[in-house]
Amino acid sequence: MARRCSSSSNVAAALALASLLSLLLGLSHGQLQVGFYSRSCPGAESTVASVVRQAGASDPTILPALLRLQFHDCFVRGCDGSVLIKGGNNNAEVDNNKHQGLRGLDVIDGAKAQLEAQCPGVVSCADIVILAARDAVAFTGGPSFDVPTGRRDGKVSNLRDADTLPDVKDGIDALRAKFAANGLSSRDLVLLSAAHTVGTTACFFIQDRLYNTPLPGGGRGADPTIPPGFLAELRSRCAPGDLNTRLPLDRGSAGVFDTSILRNIRDGFAVIGSDAALYNATATVDVVDSYSGLLSNFFGPYFRQDFADAMVRMGSIGVVTGAKGEVRKVCSKFN
């Protein structure tokens, strides 16, 4: 009996050791973790932050653009840097109309050039996108938070892959379905849409909402859910056919990271249709209300922390790690 117990103990110990080795092997193959570059490139995160800070000092509008860039990368093929690839025949992901107006790629390129000089072949472009978005949030007055790194860059970038991106014209069912397909909840939909607390949009994205929405009685006109006074305000900024004039996404608070965008959505002052849609379903209207109340800052839910958590969840969509993918030398082209 003593021998059997000893033998069983040895087997259990061997299995435990195998499990531990398997875990360590998984980590050594690049699973996402906070501080992934702490040894291989200690200055990685501070370098990205410095580049983002300098870019924001020269042009504050680039900060919301960098935040948007993470969304546009992660929602197509996952967070693999595929949106950064520039194709020669307009067939790369970035050439899709869903990416229209995308900015900040030059900031990512600048950070990558500095990191290649410090630690050649170590820091992926996909991670730079995530770090730059995190820093852009902090530099607009939002929360500071840790993000896990260790992504590799993908090896595919196709024009049509971006067709699945959420659109400003999407209704609430389409928006929820697209977020769910990426493992994100209705609460994540509201939280990540609240990134519109900073930044602007072009009149191009609201022309149909102001002038060409199908009406219940037939014909086309303004979205009937827009309050009359706000409709007049929007039309005064965006005349018919005006595609380029820009206006704040968060009426009255476009330069500060806060919950004003959610109060605007609640009160009917959402600028783009996809934001307005958040108040058209119980699953999202309750979330909007929970964060836009005056007492939520004191008793919860806590918007800043929850937003940071949602950003981390989005940054984990479809990541490429370990031996998969590559670390590009230049972010705009495959090695």
Which is the catalytic residue, given 52, 64, 68, 72? 72
Contacts of 101 (CB under 8 A, 6+ apart): 202
CB 152 within 8 A of CB 30: yes
- Is residue 72 annotated as a catalytic residue, yes or no? yes
Contacts 24+ apart (CB under 8 A), 218-226: 223/273, 223/276, 225/268, 225/276, 226/268, 226/276
- At 313, is the secondary structure helix, strand, or coil? helix
**C-alpha triplet 229, 233, 239: angle, nearest 5°:** 130
Q: Are 59 and 139 in contact (CB under 8 A)?
A: no
Q: Which residues are annotated as a binding site for heme b?
A: 196
Residue 78 falls in which region: left (phi positive, over 0), alpha (psi -120 to 50) or beta: left
Which of helix, strand or coil describes residue 248? strand
Residues forming the annotated binding site for substrate? 166
- What's the DSSP call for residue 242? -
Q: How far apart are CA 272 and CA 289, in angstroms?
A: 19
Catalytic residues: 72
